[in-house]
Amino acid sequence: MSDIDNNAEDGSGDSGKEKKDFVPKDQFLAAIASANRKNDALAAELAELKKVKTVEPPKRYTRADLNAAVTAGQITDAQADELLAKQIKEDTKNEVTQEVLSTVKAEAAQQKVVSDLAEYKRLAPEILDEDSDTRKKIGEEYRDLVDAGMPNNLATERAAIRAVLGPLEKLKVAKSARRDDEHHEETGGRSSGNRTPKNKVEGLSARQKEFYDSKIKLGVYKDWKEVEAELAYSR
């Protein structure tokens, strides 16, 4: 009998206190083992989530590989021919797909070039003027690009124009700002300059001013007074 039992019998124990319930050792060990198993399961699940799964490409077989398999009795001649034909079919399909994608990309790129060229010419019509400084600069840039190895095509022409006039989006912004300034000038916001005095060409747009200015340079009109006189007569 233990000391605890002896104390209880001889009254030396504290009979006023209730006895505590102790967890059996087997039950305690079972709880520990269950907790460990749960932790191990969670750790394994976490490890699986962290794995980077890579898809292995299908193995490619050469005719020599298939002949060796036939000789070893692993497959028949018919199976070897079927597998080889399947691989050839897949290769042909992949090649056709790549060709179609390349064609589509090339057509999209060509359309982009054509669209950009049209927009450049709309925003800067001086590109079409053989005598303009802009046209001459573009021609020099184009020849330099071709000499450097670029092809003689529209894409190189676009590259030359972009080198001279800058990116298309920036040119759009610059032209828009210029139109705003010209409109401000026409409505009296500021003087339009000595070359085209506003008080002598009242009501003319910026495009009309450029037109008459070019005619004066060609000698069609003597000066802006003559232009004004004609406009007054026409009105």
Lowest mean pLDDT among 22-31, 32-41, 100-109, 208-217: 22-31
pLDDT reported for residue 214 = 81
Say how many C-beta atoms besides its own lie within 10 A of residue 8's C-beta: 15
- Give pTM, 2 decimals: 0.43
Q: Does any domain span residue 235? A: yes
CA angle 63, 69, 72 (to 5 degrees): 140
Q: Does any domain span residue 138? A: no
Q: Does any domain span residue 143? A: no
Residue-wise pLDDT for 63-101, tens only, equals 999 999 999 999 999 999 999 999 999 999 989 999 988
Q: Does any domain span residue 223? A: yes
Under the banding of pLDDT at 50, 70 and 90, the label for residue 223 is confident
For residues 8 and 216, the model is more confident at: 216
How many structural domains compose the chain?
A: 2
Residues near 193 by Cβ (< 8 Å), separated by ≥ 6?
none
Range of the domain at 74: 64-101
Residue-wise pLDDT for 159-183, tens only, equals 999 999 999 888 888 877 666 555 5
Task: State the alpha helices, DSSP H only, in 51-167.
Answer: 63-71, 77-123, 133-147, 154-165
Q: Does any domain span residue 45? A: no
Task: For residue 224, give the nearest of 189, 203, 183, 196 by alpha carbon.
Answer: 196
The residue among 83, 101, 119 that closes a domain is 101
How far is residue 230's CA from residue 223's CA, in Å, rounded to a whole number? 11
Q: Does any domain span residue 75? A: yes
Looking at residues 7-36, what average pLDDT do you find?
A: 59
Lowest mean pLDDT among 7-11, 85-89, 121-125, 208-212: 7-11
Lowest mean pLDDT among 22-26, 68-72, 93-97, 120-124: 22-26
SS (H, E, C) 136-201: HHHHHHHHHHHHCCCCCCHHHHHHHHHHHHCCHHHHHHHHHHHHHHHHHHHCCCCCCCCCCCHHHC
> Is 70 exceeded by the pLDDT of residue 200?
no
Percentage of the chain with pLDDT > 90?
34
> Is 70 exceeded by the pLDDT of residue 189?
no
Q: Per mean pLDDT, which of 50-64, 95-109, 189-203 is the most reliable?
A: 95-109
Q: Does any domain span residue 78? A: yes
- Token digits of residue 110: 């060509």
The whole-angstrom distance between residue 133's C-alpha and the CA centroid of its chain comes to 35
- Token digits of residue 153: 């095509």
- Token digits of residue 196: 């085209």
Q: HSE (CB half, 13 Å, CA atoms) of 147?
A: 6
The overall average pLDDT reported for the chain is 77
